């Protein structure tokens, strides 16, 4: 598989590490145990298009949000995590 | 010429007669020519019997002339380079080649195991499952060892492979599999269009079927056209032609696997060269021009030596000028097979008869028959008379029911052609059935891939050229290349007609899969026993599961299955196709990564100095770390380690701790960031101070620990454990980029920038004073416990100094830029001489941390909470941090959790072992009363006995209790006392002193 | 008081043996370790990419690379190393961490990497063929031209790779390799290059 890193260009799978579902958002500090439980443990396991976190640890060390079809491995979009390239925020 | 190549034609072929090559087969010397394969050279020498079959030990010859060969498998080379199951049909002949037949004893001609043929009735599909069921206990002791001895083909060398293999990447616009007419036309179109092209050909010569079948292209003889095409391609700088290279697999994102047999055609690779190279080819487009494979027809005796695929016979005669037989019969069900009769006549061989299953034969072929003086029999071959010496007589059942016999010493068979649908089907693609050619053809392909020519079911030469050229041109365009592709090569299409014949009923064994000895009756039996799915058929009969992956047998097997089950072939369907297309040596997948290069190795800055001292190294992750430093006269590791510990506790020692992960945390929000990733607060840490920190996973379990120092208002220096260094960096980047993007914080790994040494012991400060500039205040007041600051060393070098201790002694960690690491070790030895300084390794480090009750990897094991480790009080209640909420769950705060506690045997002479279970004294150990286990142990020089740490239910409430250590692995049970985990200096006076 | 010397030792000090290696004849690959350099990682602070760029421009007279490029001045090379960050490679302390710290105050965070990396320069007719064994990226001249840079991995080890100016008409590839991995990767590179013949040297000069 190959992933087009928004910073590095197309790279082979070996440079990346998979984390998993990128949908769940970390709950606020006061959200309570149930919300955190959901965030930590409840994951969709989609046979189809999924948004996933990948880490370009073998390259620029950016965390990426990759939209991938788990059936075909087709990647339809890759975008940086909010804090990757954040120096340009507001610039 | 030295050799008498009795079956070599006087002229013709693509062999180089000026280069005679001697080789050995089963110990006998033969001669061939450069350009031969082992198979063609054996044919030229009249050798017909080349091996014994897998199950029945039947005599077998050469069936094909390519990588689909099921029979002619040999052990190539000898000694450590012996390679079993090598196809004689693809093994290139070289001077001194040494090959041996397989699966026979004592000799190929007289094989004791051929007696299996007498028992053939019991060796049917599912034989093992049915026969060796009873008595059950016989399976392991008797049946399996006997079966393993009898089964299998060649013998592995059993010695380390002395040759080298490597791996490489290649990038292109268009990769093309196969260099027959379609492949060459595709390469021409793509190359002219400006594309970067890689053309892979598994043979050592380009041309594919053109090499054997010739033809006329653009008005030129095929050989001349090939030469021109190759010359044109070679002149293109961005076209790479790779012969001896098989494209064996397609992977996601346009990545292709190919195996290049770089030096398999030499007895030993030249110095510094590899035997094989595994290529990972990244291509925008792929044209599969892998051709098609002629398929056998299943009839009794179809495995007799001398029965050969019709196209293979043409290859041997035309390409190698070697005649497999003198008097040839041809059994065909299609037009193409007739070419073999034409070839035989042109070569001056006799044609005994053509047996054509079709009702009609073209007038041209009729006149060929009358000119050649041979009969055309309408019908099918239903039996072959002959044994290990090959075909003698062929029996024919004629259309209408009559029988005939044909005397011949060779039988060419053509059952039609199967496009090579492997590559196009590897992504779970299912090929589709085409009735007109009675074959499966690709039905779509992985993204970016297209099949052309015979691989796509287009068998005519003109069609191959056209499809190849169009596919190559389209591929170049798709890759964004817009050059002119020039004119398309043109040739006529041959007539094609075929009447499917899969299996001819007859008396005797009729083989479907010759490599695995699967017969037509095995397939029928499987169907009768209820194995309806082709996937089940495959596994029950092992059809298609040999090293040839059923290239010549799968479709015939399906067809027979379909016939007996009353379904059509497309209804019956195919099994799933999986790479590799040809066997690939494990060595090629490993490449450089074997022995000491199995994985990358990390060396500490003082590694070579430690090696000079005779240190024993231990692998910790990728690192080599000094484990202990043995001295002359020490009888074992324990004596060395004990000496090192005593030297530290009594004086001073040092240890390279550079393996810890080190991360610069910069930015205005660095403190706030650390507050969120550690359970304790760091924003409140004063500049110039260090603090021990603990990180949790979001599920509340401890992740990692280490000290982090504040070097400036907006600069922290964070350390991780050795094991987790990379993972913590990844985790922190996740926190920074994904969870807390609003924080202004920057992370950089500085693990390799700093050489860090722990200097520990009551004389640590004395030693340090010798190293550090005298102006630096190292007193307890000027640099107290948990201090952290930059210092200047004697000589002006800038360093960082941390007053932290893992040993329980007064200790410092000092960091210098890594290239000074070795000098630091040497200088510590020089400066420490008056104090008896002793370098210590990871074992002594471990002993001292256990004596001091510090937790490490065995306790931070992915199941423990901060409270389990006795660090619950560190958890801040004033801030949010990763893992806070989940750490509060009922089970994680339950009072009966297993927590860290000290453990020592009541018998001081007894050795404590980690892994031992803790159960209440006097009870019979079992899962119900298992209360925990010993995690870390050491021999404590301070207590003069073995001690340890363990995770024990309510352990801290049970200090003083005697419990039982149960070690079923070692068969030991003994009493131990639960005690305070801090065995040494519990008040901490020494480290603060 | 003891007599100290603070000798610097490259991580390749033992492994690098100057001279010829591998196949005989004209060497297809030339490997040079460049020693004793200053290397500073410059990472923009949040929202401060513009300020960092201005500071870099003022300091070096050229724009720091914002994409996968390496740019050179007479006394420094600025190499892109990831989003919002670049490396400053120089010699003699002029652009070392102490000199650069005031330049980027408030706009970027700096980390000294001078001792963290080993710099290996690869050239020769077979440089690309050798690199193809350890690098998964496309180094075709049309794709990876002079000044191209990449943060990538070789043999599972992170490296910063960039193409320098050609020398004697041949491409020159520079590799910054983590120091503790350097000896291991060096052996991998030598094994990969052996079939082409190698000349090995070390130098104190930044090319």
Check residue B137 and give its pLDDT: 72
In a 3-state reduction of DSSP, which class is residue B815? strand
Q: What b/e readout covers B313-331, taking b as 16+ CB neighbours within 10 angstroms?
A: bbbbbbbbbbbbbebbbbb
Does B773 contact chain C (CB < 8 Å)?
Answer: no
Tell me the domain boundaries of chain B.
Answer: 1-160, 165-292+420-478, 309-414, 602-658+754-849, 661-749, 895-992
Q: C2–B833: do the CB atoms touch at under 8 Å?
A: yes
| Average pLDDT over every residue of B686-696 | 98
- How does residue B53 score in pLDDT terms, banded at 50, 70 and 90? confident
Minimum distance, in Å, between the CA of residue B419 and any CA atom of chain C: 33
Q: Give this prediction's pTM.
A: 0.95
Count of residues for chain B?
A: 993
Spatial separation of the C-alpha atoms in residues B444 and B393, rounded to whole Å: 45
Chain C contacts of B730, Cβ < 8 Å? none
Q: Which of C60, C83, C112 is the last residue of a domain?
A: C112
- How does residue B906 score in pLDDT terms, banded at 50, 70 and 90? very high
Whether residue C28 is found in the same domain as residue C49: no
Are the CB atoms for B751 and B641 separated by under 8 Å?
A: no
Does A12 contact chain B (CB < 8 Å)?
Answer: yes
Q: Which residues pair with B397 in a beta bridge?
A: B380, B403
Q: Which two tokens stand for residue B562?
A: 């379909």
Nearest partner of B324 among B8, B2, B4, judged by Cα: B8
Q: Which residue of C has its CA nearest to A81?
A: C83
Q: C192–B166: do the CB atoms touch at under 8 Å?
A: yes
Whether residue C100 is found in the same domain as residue C169: no
Spatial separation of the C-alpha atoms in residues B34 and C17, rounded to whole Å: 41
User: In A, residues 17-46, which contact C (CB 8 Å cutoff)?
Assistant: none
Q: Which two tokens stand for residue B56?
A: 């029945």
Q: Which two tokens stand for residue B667?
A: 């930015």
- How does residue B152 score in pLDDT terms, banded at 50, 70 and 90? low
Q: How far is CA C111 from the centre of its chain?
A: 16
CATH code of the domain in which C28 resides: 3.30.1360.120
Residue C1 has pLDDT above 60, yes or no: no
In a 3-state reduction of DSSP, which class is residue C202? strand
The CA dihedral of B422, B426, B432, B434, to the nearest 10 degrees, is -10
Q: Which chains have 3 or more CB–CB distances shorter than 8 Å to chain A?
A: B, C
Q: What b/e readout covers B804-815, taking b as 16+ CB neighbours within 10 angstroms?
A: bbbbbbbbbbbb
Q: Any idea which residue has 């060497």 for tokens?
A: C27
Check residue B57 and give its pLDDT: 87
* Domain assignment of residue C75, given as a range: 38-112
Count of residues for chain C?
A: 207
Q: C133–B170: do the CB atoms touch at under 8 Å?
A: no
Spatial separation of the C-alpha atoms in residues B912 and B965, rounded to whole Å: 9
A:B CB pairs within 8 Å: 68
Chain C contacts of A7, Cβ < 8 Å? 68, 82-83
- Which of B166, B600, B622 is facing C133, going by the closest CB pair? B166
Spatial separation of the C-alpha atoms in residues B879 and B672, rounded to whole Å: 10
Does A1 contact chain B (CB < 8 Å)?
Answer: yes
Are the CB atoms for B366 and B376 separated by under 8 Å?
A: yes
Which of C151, C158, C178, C181 has the most A C-beta neighbours within 10 Å, making it the best mutation to test the interface with A? C151
CATH code of domain B165-292+420-478: 3.50.50.60
Backbone angles phi, psi at B516, to 5 degrees: -105, 10
Which option is the CATH number for B1-160: 3.10.20.440, 3.20.20.150, 1.20.1260.10, 3.90.1170.30? 3.10.20.440
DSSP C85-126: EEEEEESTTTTSHHHHTTTTTTTEEEEE-TTTEEEEEEESTT
Q: How far is CA C91 from the centre of its chain?
A: 13
- Which of C13, C109, C195 is facing B272, going by the closest CB pair? C195
The DSSP bridge pattern shows strands B602-603 and B623-628 to be parallel
- Torsion sign, CA atoms B868, B869, B872, B876: negative
Q: C84–A88: do the CB atoms touch at under 8 Å?
A: yes
Q: Any idea which residue has 């870390």 for tokens?
A: B936
In Å, how far are B194, B419, B482, B975, B981 from B984, measured between CA atoms? 75, 76, 78, 22, 9
Q: Which residue of A has its CA nearest to B879?
A: A29
Nearest partner of B92 among B297, B293, B262, judged by Cα: B262
Whether residue C133 is found in the same domain as residue C100: no
| Residues in contact with B760: Cβ distance below 8 Å, sequence separation at least 6, in sequence order | B648, B652, B653, B654, B655, B805, B806, B807, B809, B810, B811, B812, B848
Spatial separation of the C-alpha atoms in residues B879 and B676, rounded to whole Å: 8
Same fold, B661-749 and B895-992: no
Q: Which two tokens stand for residue B223?
A: 């050989």
Domains of chain A with CATH codes:
2-88 (3.30.2270.10)
Q: Any idea which residue has 């969120």 for tokens?
A: B676
Whether residue C97 is found in the same domain as residue C135: no
Whether residue C42 is found in the same domain as residue C102: yes
Spatial separation of the C-alpha atoms in residues B284 and B197, rounded to whole Å: 10
Q: Any idea which residue has 């594309």 for tokens?
A: B195
Q: Is residue C163 part of a domain?
A: yes
State pLDDT tens for residues B7-40: 999 999 999 999 999 999 999 999 999 999 999 9
Q: What b/e readout covers B570-592, taking b as 16+ CB neighbours within 10 angstroms?
A: bebbbbebebbbbbbbebbebbb
In a 3-state reduction of DSSP, which class is residue B591? coil
State pLDDT tens for residues B422-452: 999 999 899 999 999 999 999 999 999 999 9
Minimum distance, in Å, between the CA of residue A3 and any CA atom of chain C: 13
Are the CB atoms for A53 and B738 separated by under 8 Å?
A: yes
Which of A23, A63, A65 has the most B C-beta neighbours within 10 Å, making it the best mutation to test the interface with B? A63
Does A15 contact chain C (CB < 8 Å)?
Answer: yes
Residue B121 has pLDDT above 80, yes or no: no
Proportion of chain B above pLDDT 90, given as a percent: 90
- Which of B699, B733, B888 is facing A63, going by the closest CB pair? B733
- How does residue B150 score in pLDDT terms, banded at 50, 70 and 90? low
Check residue B54 and give its pLDDT: 85
Chain C contacts of B623, Cβ < 8 Å? 180
Spatial separation of the C-alpha atoms in residues B566 and B563, rounded to whole Å: 5
Spatial separation of the C-alpha atoms in residues B31 and B44, rounded to whole Å: 9
Question: Is residue B626 exposed (0-12), middle (13-18) or buried (19+ Cβ within 10 Å)?
Answer: buried
The architecture in CATH of the region B309-414 reads: 3-Layer(bba) Sandwich (3.50)
CATH code of the domain in which C105 resides: 3.30.70.1520
Does A40 contact chain B (CB < 8 Å)?
Answer: yes
Q: How far is CA A39 from the centre of its chain?
A: 15
Q: Answer left, alpha or beta for residue B591, where phi above 0 means left and psi between -120 and 50 means alpha.
A: left
| Average pLDDT over every residue of B353-365 | 95
Q: Which two tokens stand for residue B97?
A: 């080649």
- Which of A7, A12, A58 is facing C83, going by the closest CB pair? A7
Q: Which of C89, C112, C135 is the last residue of a domain?
A: C112
Check residue B133 and give its pLDDT: 63
- Which of A7, A60, A87 is facing C44, going by the closest CB pair? A87
CATH code of domain B661-749: 3.30.70.1400
Spatial separation of the C-alpha atoms in residues B167 and B258, rounded to whole Å: 10
Whether residue C93 is found in the same domain as residue C72: yes
Spatial separation of the C-alpha atoms in residues B689 and C146, rounded to whole Å: 46
Does A19 contact chain B (CB < 8 Å)?
Answer: yes
- Which of B253, B726, B737 is facing A81, going by the closest CB pair? B737
State pLDDT tens for residues B617-667: 999 999 999 999 999 999 999 999 999 999 999 999 999 999 999 999 999
The architecture in CATH of the region B895-992 reads: Beta Barrel (2.40)
User: In B, residues 736-765, which contact C (CB 8 Å cutoff)?
Assistant: 743-746, 748-754
Are the CB atoms for B942 and B908 separated by under 8 Å?
A: no
Chain A contacts of C152, Cβ < 8 Å? 8, 11, 15, 58-59
Check residue B660 and give its pLDDT: 97
DSSP B506-532: -SS-BEEETTTTEEHHHHHHHHHTT--
Q: What is the rounded average pLDDT for all residues in chain C?
A: 96
Q: Which of C112, C133, C150 is the last residue of a domain?
A: C112
In Å, how far are B636, B653, B734, C172 from B633, measured between CA atoms? 9, 20, 52, 53
Q: B730–A37: do the CB atoms touch at under 8 Å?
A: no
Check residue B117 and give its pLDDT: 72
- How does residue B961 score in pLDDT terms, banded at 50, 70 and 90? very high
| Residues in contact with B92: Cβ distance below 8 Å, sequence separation at least 6, in sequence order | B36, B37, B38, B204, B244, B264, B265
Q: A1–B447: do the CB atoms touch at under 8 Å?
A: no
Number of domain units in chain C: 2
Q: What is the rounded average pLDDT for all residues in chain B?
A: 94
Q: Is residue C124 part of a domain?
A: yes
Minimum distance, in Å, between the CA of residue A11 and any CA atom of chain B: 10
State pLDDT tens for residues A34-87: 999 999 999 888 999 999 999 999 999 999 999 999 999 999 999 999 999 888
Residue B487 has pLDDT above 60, yes or no: yes
- Torsion sign, CA atoms B311, B312, B318, B319: positive
Are the CB atoms for B569 and B433 separated by under 8 Å?
A: yes
- How does residue A91 score in pLDDT terms, banded at 50, 70 and 90? very low
Which of B737, B742, B743, B889 has the most A C-beta neighbours within 10 Å, making it the best mutation to test the interface with A? B737
Spatial separation of the C-alpha atoms in residues B172 and B448, rounded to whole Å: 13
Nearest partner of B665 among B725, B750, B731, B604, judged by Cα: B750
Spatial separation of the C-alpha atoms in residues B179 and B332, rounded to whole Å: 27
Which of A84, A86, A88 has the most B C-beta neighbours within 10 Å, making it the best mutation to test the interface with B? A86
Q: Is residue C3 part of a domain?
A: no
Whether residue C24 is found in the same domain as residue C65: no
Minimum distance, in Å, between the CA of residue B775 and any CA atom of chain C: 15
Minimum distance, in Å, between the CA of residue B172 and any CA atom of chain A: 14
Q: Is residue C14 part of a domain?
A: no
The architecture in CATH of the region B602-658+754-849 reads: 2-Layer Sandwich (3.30)
Whether residue C124 is found in the same domain as residue C92: no
Q: Which residue of A has its CA nearest to C158?
A: A58
- How does residue C104 score in pLDDT terms, banded at 50, 70 and 90? very high
Spatial separation of the C-alpha atoms in residues B268 and B329, rounded to whole Å: 41
Chain B contacts of C129, Cβ < 8 Å? 168
Q: Cβ atoms within 10 A of the Cβ of B796, count?
A: 8
Check residue B107 and give its pLDDT: 80
Whether residue C84 is found in the same domain as residue C99: yes
User: In B, residues 652-711, which contact C (CB 8 Å cutoff)?
Assistant: 658, 664, 666-668
Spatial separation of the C-alpha atoms in residues C81 and C42, rounded to whole Å: 9
Does A80 contact chain C (CB < 8 Å)?
Answer: yes
Question: Is residue B124 exposed (0-12), middle (13-18) or buried (19+ Cβ within 10 Å)?
Answer: middle
Check residue B104 and give its pLDDT: 77
Spatial separation of the C-alpha atoms in residues B104 and B26, rounded to whole Å: 11
Check residue B341 and give its pLDDT: 97
| Degrees, nearest 5: CA angle C80-C81-C85 | 80
Q: C82–A62: do the CB atoms touch at under 8 Å?
A: yes
Q: Is residue C6 part of a domain?
A: no
Whether residue C108 is found in the same domain as residue C47: yes
């Amino acid at each position: 598989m190959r992933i087009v890193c928004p910073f590095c260009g197309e790279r082979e799978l070996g440079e990346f590490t998979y984390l998993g579902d990128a949908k769940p958002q970390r709950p606020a500090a006061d959200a309570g145990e149930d919300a955190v439980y959901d965030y930590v443990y409840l994951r969709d396991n989609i046979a189809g298009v999924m948004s996933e976190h990948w880490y370009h640890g073998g390259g620029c060390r950016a965390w990426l949000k990759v939209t991938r079809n788990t059936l075909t491995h087709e990647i339809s979009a890759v975008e940086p995590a909010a804090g990757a390239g954040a120096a340009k925020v507001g610039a | 010429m030295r050799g008498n190549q009795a079956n070599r034609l006087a002229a013709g072929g693509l062999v180089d007669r000026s280069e005679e090559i001697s080789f050995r087969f089963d110990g006998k010397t033969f001669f061939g020519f450069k350009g031969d394969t082992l198979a063609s050279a054996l044919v030229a020498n009249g050798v017909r019997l080349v091996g014994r079959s897998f199950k029945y030990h039947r005599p077998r010859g050469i069936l094909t002339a390519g990588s689909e060969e099921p029979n002619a498998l040999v052990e190539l080379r000898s000694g450590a380079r012996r390679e079993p199951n090598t196809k004689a049909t693809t093994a290139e002949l070289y001077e001194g080649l040494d090959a041996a037949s397989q699966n026979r004893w004592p000799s190929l001609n007289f094989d004791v195991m051929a007696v299996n043929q007498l028992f053939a009735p019991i060796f049917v599909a599912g034989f093992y499952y049915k026969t060796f069921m009873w008595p059950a206990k016989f399976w392991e002791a008797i049946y399996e060892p006997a079966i393993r001895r009898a089964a299998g083909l060649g013998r592995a060398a059993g010695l380390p492979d002395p040759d080298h293999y490597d791996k490489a990447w290649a990038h292109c616009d268009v990769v093309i599999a196969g260099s027959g007419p379609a492949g060459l036309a595709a390469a021409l179109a793509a190359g002219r269009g400006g594309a970067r092209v890689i053309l892979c050909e598994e043979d050592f010569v380009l041309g594919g079927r053109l090499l054997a079948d010739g033809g006329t292209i653009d008005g030129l003889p095929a050989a001349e056209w090939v030469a021109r095409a190759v010359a044109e391609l070679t002149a293109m700088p961005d076209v790479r032609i790779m012969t001896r290279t098989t494209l064996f697999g397609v992977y996601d994102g346009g990545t292709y696997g190919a195996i290049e047999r770089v030096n398999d055609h030499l007895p030993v690779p030249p110095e510094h060269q590899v035997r094989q190279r595994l290529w990972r080819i990244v291509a925008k487009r792929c044209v599969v021009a892998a051709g098609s494979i002629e398929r056998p027809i299943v009839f009794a005796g179809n495995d007799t030596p001398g029965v050969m695929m019709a196209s293979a016979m043409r290859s041997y005669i035309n390409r190698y000028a070697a005649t497999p037989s003198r008097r040839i019969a041809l059994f065909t069900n299609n037009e193409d097979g007739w070419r073999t009769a034409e070839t035989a006549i042109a070569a001056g061989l006799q044609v005994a008869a053509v047996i054509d299953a079709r009702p009609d034969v073209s007038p041209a072929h009729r006149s060929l028959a009358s000119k050649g003086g041979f009969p055309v029999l309408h019908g099918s071959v239903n039996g072959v008379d002959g044994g290990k010496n090959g075909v003698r007589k062929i029996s024919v059942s004629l259309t209408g029911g009559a029988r005939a016999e044909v005397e011949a010493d060779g039988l060419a068979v053509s059952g039609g052609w199967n496009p090579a649908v492997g590559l196009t089907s590897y992504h779970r693609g299912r090929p589709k059935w085409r009735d007109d050619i009675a074959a499966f053809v690709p039905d779509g392909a992985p993204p970016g891939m297209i099949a052309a020519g015979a691989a796509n079911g287009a068998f005519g030469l003109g069609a191959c050229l056209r499809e190849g050229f169009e596919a190559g041109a389209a591929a170049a365009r798709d890759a964004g290349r817009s050059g002119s592709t020039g004119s398309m090569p043109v040739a006529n299409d041959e007539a094609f007609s075929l009447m499917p014949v899969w299996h001819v009923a007859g008396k005797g064994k009729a083989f479907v899969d010759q490599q695995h000895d699967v017969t037509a009756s095995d397939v029928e039996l499987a169907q009768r026993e209820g194995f309806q799915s082709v996937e089940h058929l495959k596994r029950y009969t092992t059809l298609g599961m040999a090293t040839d992956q059923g290239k010549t047998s799968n479709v015939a097997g399906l067809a027979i299955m379909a016939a007996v089950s009353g379904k059509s072939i497309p209804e019956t369907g195919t099994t799933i196709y999986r790479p590799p297309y040809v066997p690939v040596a494990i060595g090629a997948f490993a490449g450089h990564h074997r022995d000491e290069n199995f994985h990358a190795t990390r060396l500490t800055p003082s590694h070579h100095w430690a090696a000079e001292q005779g240190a024993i190294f231990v692998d910790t992750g990728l690192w080599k770390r000094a484990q202990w430093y043995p001295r002359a006269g020490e009888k074992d590791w324990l004596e060395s380690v004990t000496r090192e510990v005593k030297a530290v506790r009594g004086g001073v020692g040092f240890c390279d701790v550079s393996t810890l992960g080190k991360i610069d945390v910069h930015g205005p929000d660095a403190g706030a960031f650390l507050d969120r990733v550690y359970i304790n607060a760091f924003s409140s840490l004063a500049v110039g101070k260090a603090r021990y920190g603990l990180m949790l996973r979001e599920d509340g379990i401890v992740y990692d620990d280490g000290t982090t120092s504040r070097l400036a208002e907006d600069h922290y220096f964070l350390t991780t454990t050795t094991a987790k260094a990379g993972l913590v960096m990844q985790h922190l980047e996740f926190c920074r980029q994904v969870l807390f993007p609003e924080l202004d914080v920057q992370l950089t790994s500085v693990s390799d920038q700093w050489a860090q040494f722990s200097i520990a012991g009551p004389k640590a400060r004395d030693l340090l004073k010798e190293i550090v500039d005298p102006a630096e205040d190292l007193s307890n007041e000027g640099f107290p416990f948990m201090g952290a600051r930059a210092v200047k060393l004697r000589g002006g070098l800038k360093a960082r100094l941390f007053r932290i201790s893992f040993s329980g002694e007064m200790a410092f960690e000092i960091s210098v830029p890594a290239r000074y690491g070795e000098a630091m070790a040497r200088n510590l030895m020089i400066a420490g001489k008056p104090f008896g300084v002793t370098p210590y390794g990871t074992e002594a480090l471990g002993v001292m941390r256990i004596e001091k009750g510090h937790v490490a990897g065995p306790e931070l094991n992915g199941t423990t909470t901060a409270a389990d480790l006795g660090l619950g009080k560190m958890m801040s209640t004033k801030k949010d941090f990763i893992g806070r909420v989940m750490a509060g769950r009922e089970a994680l705060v339950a009072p009966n959790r297993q927590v860290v506690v000290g453990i020592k045997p009541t018998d001081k002479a007894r050795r404590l072992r980690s892994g031992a279970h803790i159960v209440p004294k006097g009870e019979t150990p079992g899962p119900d009363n298992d209360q925990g286990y010993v995690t870390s142990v050491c021999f404590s020089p301070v207590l003069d006995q073995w001690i340890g740490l363990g995770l024990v239910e309510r352990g801290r409430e049970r200090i003083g209790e005697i419990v039982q250590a149960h070690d079923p692995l070692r068969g030991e049970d003994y009493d131990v006392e639960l005690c305070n985990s801090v065995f040494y200096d519990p008040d901490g006076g020494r480290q603060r002193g | 008081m003891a007599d100290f010397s603070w000798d610097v030792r490259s991580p390749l000090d033992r492994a690098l043996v100057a001279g010829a290696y591998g196949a005989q004849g004209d060497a297809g690959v030339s490997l040079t370790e460049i020693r004793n350099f200053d290397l500073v990682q410059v990472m923009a602070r949040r929202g401060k990419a513009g300020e960092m760029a201005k500071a870099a421009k003022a300091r070096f007279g050229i724009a720091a690379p914002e994409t996968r490029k390496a740019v050179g001045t007479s006394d420094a090379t600025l190499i892109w190393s990831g989003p919002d960050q670049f490396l400053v490679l120089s010699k003699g302390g002029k652009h070392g961490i102490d000199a650069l710290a005031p330049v980027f105050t408030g706009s970027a965070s700096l980390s000294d990497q001078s001792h963290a990396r080993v710099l290996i320069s690869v050239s020769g007719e077979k440089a690309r063929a050798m690199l193809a064994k350890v690098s998964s990226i496309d180094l075709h001249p049309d794709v990876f031209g002079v000044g191209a840079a990449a943060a990538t991995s070789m043999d599972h080890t992170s490296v910063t790779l960039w193409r320098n100016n050609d020398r004697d008409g041949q491409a020159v590839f520079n590799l910054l390799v983590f120091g503790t991995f350097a000896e291991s990767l060096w052996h991998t590179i030598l094994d990969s290059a052996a079939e082409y013949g190698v000349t090995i040297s070390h130098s104190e000069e930044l090319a």
